[in-house]
Structure 1
């Protein structure tokens, strides 16, 4: 479904992704783990075709995603419906006068009939406890409600792939629990980025880790990685330092969360 081969990307000459090779199959629930600055957001933006690899190839459902393909209106229309991304800061995604209009916006842009727009809006507003807020301006919602609204705006399209960039960063524990339950209920491919090691087992089944050198240092089962101190040290997610007590030396580990 998704394939990256030899992907590199830099900003102002500073490399943020190095030789990324990744394949994601339909229905997989992938967690993208790495410390801040490891390249997680850039990788998600490439998958969402918001930016293109400077080197290497990105293929989606057998079609290479490049500049020429992004000029193909039919491809872009289909791609934008099937591949959606939730940004870490919900405020950057909200710009319509009411919650209803936010939910309806992308459907209207894609040419859905108004009756179908209303059906989908009401369905997802109900599922996300937003019915009573439909006539409100989005900026009057709480942080958690904004995050719910942004996610509902994506799911209203009934996409095939959902990309989430640090989705729990601004959520309280209760809303985080709600999001985790929702992700388990969704029958779509998900790729969720986080730097929070403790949440990894809750967010997916497969773990892809970006290291401090901006390359993939692990791709496999979550529990295998979490039991391997050396792998976590290599990824910069665990810091080891030693203290001497008399004649004895003790090693202490600290998670970078």
Structure 2
């Protein structure tokens, strides 16, 4: 670094908040997460990086793969018919486009904070306030929904206990998991999400074998897509309504 550049970095450091460093600092804190901001060229996010790439990846997948996929998908198929595949294609495309836009904003304005900050930059504080509380409200409802659905599933395996007992136990497990350190939470989420990913892979393999008539006792069922009332026996509007359920199932992609 030249003498002039070093002097410029020192001048910028004098204007940064205490504990922050400048973007031009040649010696960033060890294990610090570099975050660019527009706050005077200061790097103010120096928290230790405790989550690894595998943790973040599985946290994202774990947020997407939930009861809406295991249980909600059955409701979509029952309400829409074989055309439910169109609901998932449309919903997946919309989520993909939204994530591409979020990625572009993150690359253009890599500010400290979540997507609420982009709402603040584009629309103002009121938008960030609204987005933040709506997002909080969504996840509070999802946790209760996951506990209720999980309790119903476990009740089917162990009928001796009421569904609400399993729901309470699941809520206690959720709470206990979040009381540990960030690294511990990442490890727990990694292994739990891995179980869900493996389960989906097994479902896909077994379902394909059933559809092709390869699984013992099964028969070729691909013609069921256009027989028994056609590809869209319920009409077009149930396909559109199913998109809302599909997008709800995809919530969690923004965590990454």
Structure showing greater Rg: 2
Instruction: With a CA cutoff of 8 Å and minimum separation of 6, indicate the structure with the bigger relative contact order.
Output: 2
Which structure has greater helix proportion? 2
Which of the pair is proportionally richer in strand? 1
> TM-score band, normalised by the shorter chain?
under 0.3
Q: What is the TM-score of this pair, normalised by structure 1?
A: 0.23
